[in-house]
Amino acid sequence: MIAARTLARPRHDRLIAGVCAGIAERFGLSPWTVRLIFLASCLLPGPQFMIYMALWLLLPQEP
């Protein structure tokens, strides 16, 4: 049986809050890929920073 990955902020491989690293780990991507996608999305209008801050507050940290 394959264990389901949970969405959490890891204690390793984080630059600011670990949000991008947690998303990358959950979906099996490289943390740098998710960071580059986030930075590219900042060129578009929208609430990207507000979502990042909300995830920083809401996502649990890995034990």
The predicted-structure confidence for 1-60, as pLDDT tens digits, reads as follows 455 578 889 888 888 899 999 999 999 999 999 999 999 999 999 999 999 999 999 999
Give the closest residue to 22 by CA, choosing from 7, 4, 39.
7
Contact 35, 41 (CB under 8 A): no
- Calculate the average pLDDT of the chain: 88
Q: List Cα–Cα distances, 10 to 3, 31, 41, in angstroms.
A: 17, 11, 22
The pTM assigned to this predicted structure is 0.82
Contact 17, 9 (CB under 8 A): yes
- Rounded CA separation 55/9 (Å): 9
